Amino acid sequence: MRCLSAAGLVSSAEEASSEACVGAGRSADDEEEPEPEPDPDPETAVRSCFGTVFAATMIRVIHHMADVPAVLAQVRRILVPGGTFILEYANKRNLKAMVRHARKQQTWNPYDLTPVEFVELNFDFHPNYMRQALQSAGFTTKKRIPVSYLRLQGLKERLSTETLVRIDRVLQHSGLLYSPSIFTRNVAVGETPDNLARETLFACPDCGGPLARDGDVVRCRRDGQRWAVRDGIYDFKAPLET
């Protein structure tokens, strides 16, 4: 089983400060394989081959993405049909924002579906906007869980951690999507390639070409660039110097 953690995804305005960590099930060899299809936008690409991932997670990440539809489309591209995508996002329609809006203490409307950038490259999303974006990208949302209701400092000072967890657990089952954070479980739908048997999981971060692994290094067959593999983690933060 191959699972991708999407914590390594960055928007075009951010530095690549995270590593993409993937459990590929088996190591790649140097056998010839078909080249992956070129990606039209390398700035937003998840550099994996089509249909090579069974499950993906993206937690505490997408609120830094300026182009959510492009990011979701890339995640869907690498998932096999029926693959699972766990997504967490910052909820625009949370209780604090609703109260502040009612008191005219903020300029943006928590009920409007348009994402709000409250500080640079920090976005909140309406639950219905995110559901529509996921659907457009080729996902069906199976479950949504609101979490982290009790973030107020006053509550943290007066109630024990155990009590806060117990209350939040009850609220998670309420289905009331008014919390600051929402987790979703989504399933990839539609016809896309299923390449789970493929040896090479990744494609070149720069040109999209096929990669070959040689020990603790992966090399692009197209442009010759190389990246390190450290303790089983593929480090695409920057290519190795030649």
pLDDT digits (tens, 9 = 90+) for 73-110: 889 988 888 999 999 999 999 999 999 999 999 999 99
Task: Flag whether pLDDT at 17 surpasses 50.
Answer: no
Give φ, ψ of 211 to 5 degrees.
Answer: -110, 150
What are the b/e assignments for 92-114, b being 16+ CB within 10 Å?
bbbbebeeebeeeeeeeebeeee
pLDDT tens by residue, 165-182: 999 999 999 989 999 999
Task: Flag whether pLDDT at 141 surpasses 50.
Answer: yes
42 lies in a domain? yes
48 lies in a domain? yes
Residue 219 sits in a domain whose CATH number is 3.40.50
| pLDDT bracket for residue 154 (50, 70, 90) | confident
**Total domains in the fold of the chain:** 1
What local confidence, expressed as pLDDT, does residue 202 receive? Answer: 76
pLDDT tens by residue, 38-75: 444 444 444 555 677 889 999 999 999 999 999 998 89
159 lies in a domain? no
- Whole-angstrom distance, CA of residue 12 vs CA of residue 204: 17
Task: Flag whether pLDDT at 14 surpasses 90.
Answer: no
165 lies in a domain? no
Spell out the residues 6+ positions from residue 242 whose beta carbon is closer than 8 angstroms to its own: 224, 226
167 lies in a domain? no
Average pLDDT value for the chain: 80
29 lies in a domain? yes
Taking alpha carbons only, the member of 39, 36, 40, 38 closest to residue 49 is 36
User: How is residue 79 written in tokens?
Assistant: 């998932």
Residues constituting the chain = 242
CA dihedral of 152, 153, 156, 157, whole degrees rounded to 10: -140
Task: Flag whether pLDDT at 121 surpasses 70.
Answer: yes
86 lies in a domain? yes
211-214 and 181-188: which strand pairing? unpaired
Task: Flag whether pLDDT at 27 surpasses 50.
Answer: no
What local confidence, expressed as pLDDT, does residue 49 receive? Answer: 59
Task: Flag whether pLDDT at 25 surpasses 80.
Answer: no
What local confidence, expressed as pLDDT, does residue 120 receive? Answer: 92
pLDDT tens by residue, 191-239: 877 666 665 667 787 877 778 888 999 999 889 999 999 998 888 888 9
- Whole-angstrom distance, CA of residue 60 vs CA of residue 69: 17
Give the structural domain span for 43. Answer: 3-149+177-235
What local confidence, expressed as pLDDT, does residue 41 receive? Answer: 46
